[in-house]
Amino acid sequence: IIAAQSIGEPGTQLTMRTFHTGGVASSADITQGLPRVTELVEARRPKGVCQVADFKGQVTVKEDVSEEYGEKKTMVTVHLSGVEEKDYKIPFGAKLLVKNGDNVEAGAPFYVGSIDPQDILRTRGVSGVQELLIREIQSAYRVNGVHISDKHIEIIVRQMLRKVRISSPNGTDLLLNELVDINTLEEANEKALENGEMPATAVRVLLGISKAALATDSFLSAASFQETARVLTDAAIKSKTDHLIGLKENVIIGKLIPAGTGMKMYSNVKIENVSENARKVVESKEIEVDYDAEDVVEGSENGTADVTAE
């Protein structure tokens, strides 16, 4: 909640400011400001997306002059050689970021433009796309003079990457192409290994924050966000059970949230009268207690009594 507020509230400042694009013809196609933040957190393919290197290699720039409608145009092809070879057609008018002989890493852009996070997840993996999202979101805010702590963005990015798609179930109860939480996959694999079975394999999936919220195991939490009728109908058809593990679903039905004193470890605490032993513990710790209050909480893990003080 704090992370969402820390990103959302400064977003109003982005809507009240304009960003001047000049100097580069193609820069007008690059989304900036709040639309760019929305584009990133929803994991949408950006407008004016640029191509990135699929693997590490050396660049060879080849220019082919062709005549169209009586005008000569130069088509640039980037030839990448490394583990394998691949050609990339560069759009006309794009400002190249590489030159002949350059060595590039996987995921490096060839020209000015917006980078698609899905391309970075494919080429650089989870850590690479995490770094990209944090850097791009921060850039969109900082160019407008807004400063946000990285930890708030990291929480949002972690939620976007918490799902995996099963590519091979093997000896688990999971289904092929099923979208599950990464913790569910780890638990299923541990169970499979204990039974002498092969663990499942999966591919990490980058979901937009809206899809990630709807992909939760709790149908109450998903229904409170978007598409209420569809979520509840789907839950009824599949006879789903909500185990009330998260915060939102407990708030909806009026139960204590599983945080602080609402956690199970505090649910069986007994309340008894103040004893002489409790008085000695309080006096030894120099805690001020109103002894008119006859309630004390006993049964902490270390065997000592915890006294409620007023």
pLDDT for 292:
47
Contacting residues for 190 by C-beta, under 8 A, at least 6 apart:
none
Q: Are 63 and 89 in contact (CB under 8 A)?
A: no
What architecture does CATH give domain 160-252? Orthogonal Bundle (1.10)
pLDDT for 270:
65
**Cα–Cα–Cα angle for 80, 85, 90, rounded to 5 degrees:** 45
Radius of gyration from C-alpha coordinates of the chain: 28
pLDDT tens profile 211-255 = 777 777 788 888 887 778 888 898 899 888 888 888 888 888 888
pLDDT higher at 253 or 10:
253
Six-digit token string for 35: 């639309």
The domain made up of 2-48+115-159 is a member of CATH 1.10.1790.20? yes
pLDDT tens profile 120-178 = 999 899 999 999 899 988 888 887 777 888 888 888 898 889 889 999 888 888 888 88
Strand partners, 202: 166
Domain boundary assignment for the chain: 2-48+115-159, 57-104, 160-252, 269-310
- Average pLDDT for 38-64: 83
Kindly state the greatest CA–CA separation across the chain: 102
pLDDT for 12:
65
pLDDT for 149:
84
Q: Are 51 and 175 in contact (CB under 8 A)?
A: no
- Average pLDDT for 279-296: 53
CA 186/CA 88 separation, integer angstroms: 38
The DSSP symbol for 265 reads G
Dump the DSSP string for 278-305.
Answer: HHHHHHHTT----TT---EEE--TTSPP
Note whether 2-48+115-159 and 160-252 share their fold.
yes
- Average pLDDT for 20-38: 56
Task: State pTM to two decimals.
Answer: 0.64
